Structure 1
Amino acid sequence: MENQKKANGAHILALPYPSQGHINPMCQFCKRLVSKGTKATLAITSYISKSTSLKPDTVLIDTFSDGYDEGGFADAGDIDEYLARMKKEGSKTVAELIRKYQETNHPIDCIVYDSFLPWALDVAKNFGILGACFFTQACAVDCVYYYVHHELLKLPVSTLPVEIPGLPPLDLSDMPSYISVHGSYPAYFQMVLNQFPNVEKADFMFINTYYKLEETVIDEMTKMRPMLTVGPTIPSFYLDKRVENDNNYEINLFQYDSTNCINWLNNKPAGSVVYVAFGSMVSLPEKQVEELAMGLKNSNFHFLWVIKASEQENLLQKFMQDTSDDKGLFITWCPQLKVLSNKALGCFFSHVGWNSTIEALSLGVPMVVMPQWTDQTMNAKLVEDVWKMGLRVKTDANGIVGREEIEGCLKEVMVGERGNEMKKFSSKWRDLAMEAVCEGGTSDTNINDFISKLNKKS
């Protein structure tokens, strides 16, 4: 058995938090590992296994239970209840998975677990196998949470700007929303702080970013705890093309036919289209949808708008009637990477979630950003002031971004002088993303280092 195991490399059990934005980066990381001779099994919840089609070519799929096998998170009373039950049932069923593979020629050598699931490290240690913590958000965001957890940053914030080594000076509006609006979403805030209590016991710590993107804060965090950058975790087809058949993400919560929107983009001039999308969780107020619609219309650019059916019902019928298919296209979902990589794209109007931000950086697309909550406010700060490849819209006294503000930001990014500079910075980050995943780049070097150490210990 030992010789067989060594011949096929170490075996990784990857355990993502059960949501699309966490599963896809973890799965992409597994694909990279497999391309270098490592065996990887991605464990998803029983509910997700039943409700989505997830069949990567090289990564094996197995399941564990979060305690809500029939309905997932929707069946839980609240996030506290969900996390408590998932810890109980997840610990038990992940242990069963490990025991199952112990009886094969490919026993588990290491659990790579989402930082939102710290109990997985305890499971790994109980079996005497390695545990690697995987952070899906920006290093800058995790650094702020780390400072709060260790009471190096006292809440509520009383002195501004906030000074944290490795980060630019931060105003309150630049901080993650749990901090800028003290006391908001307490259960979710506790979840992000609970990433750290046992992380020092982990054998490895990964973060879904690339070194040149967050160099100063990564250097500071590494002084406290060594970490390996393994991003950007987007399909190889859009970067180095060295991982065979890695053309798409593996999980999408929505079904779509991409033919219409891609054909529409292909018929537009280069750099002429504004792409508008706010992820799967954001629901904009009716007034904000109206202001966004009028800002887009008044800017007079072509636009592709991913908008929920419920929000389309609230959208002014006159606006939709007055907007021809040639000027604007409304769609409920789309293949975002195909859109962002299309030559017609000139700007990405985004909620600036981390996965969307990494995609825009990796594909060299400048942004207008309208953050909503959690890490998005801090990502917006980085996009505008650190990476200098986008603009953050300003809200009014009621928290609404007006049509004039939207129109002005779009025009500045698409055709203004500052927009030309943003395009240059966007190209820079695209080139560095490519470097990060190629031989000699940060991501590739770190993944090779991890595999080498893992094979020695396994």
Structure 2
Amino acid sequence: MEKPKNAFKGHCLVVPYPTPGHINPMLQFSRRLEHRGVKVTLAVTEYIFKTMQDVAFSSISVETFSDGKVADVETDIQDYLVRLQENGTKTLTKLVEKLCASDDDHNDPLICIVYDSFLPWALDVARKFRLVSAVFLTQSASVSNIYYHVWNGSLRLPLSESSRVFIPGLPPLEASETPSFLHIYGSYPAIREFLVDQFKNFHQADWIFFNTFYKLEEKVVDWMTKNWPMVRTIGPTLASMLMDKRINEDKDYVLNCYNPNTDSCMKWLNERPDSSVAYVSFGSIAELGKEQFQELAWGLKNSNVYFLFVVRSKEQSKLPKGFLEENSKSEKGLVVSWCPQLKVLEHKALGCFVTHCGWNSTLEALSFGVPVVAMPQWSDQITNAKFIDNVWGNGVKAARTNDSGLITREEVEFLLKEVMEGEKGEEIRKNASKWKELAKEAVDEGGSSDEAINEFVANIVGY
């Protein structure tokens, strides 16, 4: 039973890394805490806050801290991370002081900081004020375990191209199936160091949360729990109205970084047959080169399946000449600059999801039972695609088959038909449906994720 909003028994500060892909799962987790009687304040950077003024957060308060960023100007990642820690530590400390003083007046004591694993310095802030600390990992438990073994030195870099990687709780991996920052050793060294260093103190937190569900990554979670008893799976952290429907006010699904073409997307999908549409989106960060974009576009057209293709405005120049004009005359495809992904994925017209395999998109596809055509680009996407294809069986990974390392139009066409119409597609759809049921089971009352959140709340507020 939901507690009245004036009957909070404690107060948590939730601090995500300042990108929508990290804010959204922690926002949904915050809503589940609030539903259980915990007052929640979401702390975002001042720059991010300016872009989300029109977003509703129920009764969750939003406060800001500084990362030193004042404009949308790309900077060196190493420089940004240094400024984020320096400015973030100082301004988050001031925010905690402010909240502690305010809570004394309103009898909602600040008792906990839930912080993104990409912000390991937030643990020091929690300790300074003797608050309970909970680290929240927004990548899969499997990918996190790979980075952890790099941090502790048991997985040595650089990896040999021909070597196989053996990590506790994971299937054997080819070097090329590890995150790109590891197997392409010279790429983005600052990001690799950043991802590895998130594990320098994570085991010192009072709680370790993974945005996954137990049955999805059972073996690796069991291995972690033996080493760190405070590990809990609390996902998938999607809006309650899309999963267990226990939070009636949970209508604003996510923070969008672009304005979605909601009406046109939904109208078009409503007019398509069940399980007939391929949804194609590569998120807000991943970028395909011009040649790859054109191969993908021709593959979609040649497949003769219905498709909803998200092409950000800055990338429309990469499409084949005349593609948009020709497509606008056809009923087969709809090209939009952005769309409400969760509403699309839950739509009955969806037949498959062509995705870059970021963890949020991967978990969403699993949770809605949508078969996947995996086209990973970099980072953890490569490992996620491996699991989609070979472990979970809810999709297929596209092969880079030509001399330029591109996924050809023929490969795109073949995989779309295979997943949506072929014999292998039947098995994939069956697996996708199974994971949908298990994801819902995890967040339903008494499920593994539900119980983990209940345990956490009972521990910090004493009921």
Same fold (TM over 0.5): yes
Secondary structure of residue in 2 paired with 1:252: coil
> Is 1:274 aligned to 2:275, yes or no?
no
**Aligned residue runs from structure 1 range 280-429, under 5 A:** 280-323=284-327, 324-395=329-400, 396-429=402-435
1:259 aligned partner:
263
Contact between 1:393 and 1:405, CA under 8 Å: does it hold in 2? Answer: yes
Contact between 2:89 and 2:125, CA under 8 Å: does it hold in 1? Answer: yes
Contact between 1:55 and 1:61, CA under 8 Å: does it hold in 2? Answer: no
> Is 1:77 aligned to 2:88, yes or no?
no
Kindly state the Cα deviation for residue 107 of structure 1 after the two structures are TM-superposed.
3.1
- Paired with 1:140 and 1:49, the residues of 2 have a C-alpha distance of 32
Kindly state the Cα deviation for residue 314 of structure 1 after the two structures are TM-superposed.
2.5
Q: 2:168 aligns with which of 165, 172, 184?
A: 165
Give ranges in structure 2 of 5+ residues lacking alignment: none
Kindly state the Cα deviation for residue 211 of structure 1 after the two structures are TM-superposed.
0.3
1:101 aligned partner:
99
Contact between 2:12 and 2:40, CA under 8 Å: does it hold in 1? Answer: yes
- Paired with 1:8 and 1:293, the residues of 2 have a C-alpha distance of 52
- Paired with 2:115 and 2:173, the residues of 1 have a C-alpha distance of 30
- Paired with 2:121 and 2:86, the residues of 1 have a C-alpha distance of 9
- Paired with 2:385 and 2:39, the residues of 1 have a C-alpha distance of 37
> Is 1:40 aligned to 2:79, yes or no?
no
- Paired with 2:95 and 2:397, the residues of 1 have a C-alpha distance of 45
Secondary structure of residue in 2 paired with 1:283: coil
**Aligned residue runs from structure 1 range 118-133, under 5 A:** 118-133=120-135
- Paired with 1:249 and 1:48, the residues of 2 have a C-alpha distance of 17
1:139 aligned partner:
141
Kindly state the Cα deviation for residue 79 of structure 1 after the two structures are TM-superposed.
1.1
Q: How many residues align?
A: 450
Give ranges in structure 1 of 5+ residues lacking alignment: none
Write the deviation string for residues 303-333 of structure 1: whole angstroms up to 9, x where unpaired: 0000022322231233333333411000000
Contact between 1:12 and 1:39, CA under 8 Å: does it hold in 2? Answer: yes
- Paired with 2:452 and 2:272, the residues of 1 have a C-alpha distance of 40
Secondary structure of residue in 2 paired with 1:260: helix
- Paired with 1:354 and 1:97, the residues of 2 have a C-alpha distance of 30
Secondary structure of residue in 2 paired with 1:87: helix
Contact between 2:261 and 2:336, CA under 8 Å: does it hold in 1? Answer: no
Decide which moves more: 48-57 or 274-283. Answer: 48-57
- Paired with 2:304 and 2:192, the residues of 1 have a C-alpha distance of 40
Kindly state the Cα deviation for residue 6 of structure 1 after the two structures are TM-superposed.
11
Contact between 1:270 and 1:343, CA under 8 Å: does it hold in 2? Answer: yes
- Paired with 2:366 and 2:59, the residues of 1 have a C-alpha distance of 27
Write the deviation string for residues 343-367 of structure 1: whole angstroms up to 9, x where unpaired: 1110000001100111110000000
- Paired with 1:177 and 1:208, the residues of 2 have a C-alpha distance of 21
- Paired with 1:130 and 1:310, the residues of 2 have a C-alpha distance of 43
Contact between 1:9 and 1:37, CA under 8 Å: does it hold in 2? Answer: yes
2:192 aligned partner:
189
Decide which moves more: 22-31 or 158-167. Answer: 158-167
Kindly state the Cα deviation for residue 7 of structure 1 after the two structures are TM-superposed.
5.3
Kindly state the Cα deviation for residue 55 of structure 1 after the two structures are TM-superposed.
2.4
1:17 aligned partner:
17
> Is 1:222 aligned to 2:225, yes or no?
yes
* Amino acid paired to 2:199: F
- Paired with 1:336 and 1:6, the residues of 2 have a C-alpha distance of 34
Kindly state the Cα deviation for residue 248 of structure 1 after the two structures are TM-superposed.
3.1
- Paired with 2:322 and 2:33, the residues of 1 have a C-alpha distance of 51
- Paired with 1:6 and 1:414, the residues of 2 have a C-alpha distance of 50
Decide which moves more: 311-320 or 118-127. Answer: 311-320
Contact between 2:46 and 2:64, CA under 8 Å: does it hold in 1? Answer: yes
Q: 1:207 aligns with which of 202, 206, 210?
A: 210
- Paired with 2:203 and 2:146, the residues of 1 have a C-alpha distance of 17
Contact between 1:76 and 1:82, CA under 8 Å: does it hold in 2? Answer: no
- Paired with 1:433 and 1:51, the residues of 2 have a C-alpha distance of 31
Secondary structure of residue in 2 paired with 1:14: strand
Contact between 1:412 and 1:418, CA under 8 Å: does it hold in 2? Answer: yes
- Paired with 1:454 and 1:183, the residues of 2 have a C-alpha distance of 43
Contact between 1:276 and 1:305, CA under 8 Å: does it hold in 2? Answer: yes
Secondary structure of residue in 2 paired with 1:103: helix
Taking structure 2 as the reference length, what is the TM-score of the superposition?
0.95
Aligned sequence identity (%):
49
1:176 aligned partner:
179
Secondary structure of residue in 2 paired with 1:41: strand
Secondary structure of residue in 1 paired with 2:353: strand
- Paired with 2:165 and 2:12, the residues of 1 have a C-alpha distance of 39
- Paired with 2:322 and 2:81, the residues of 1 have a C-alpha distance of 45
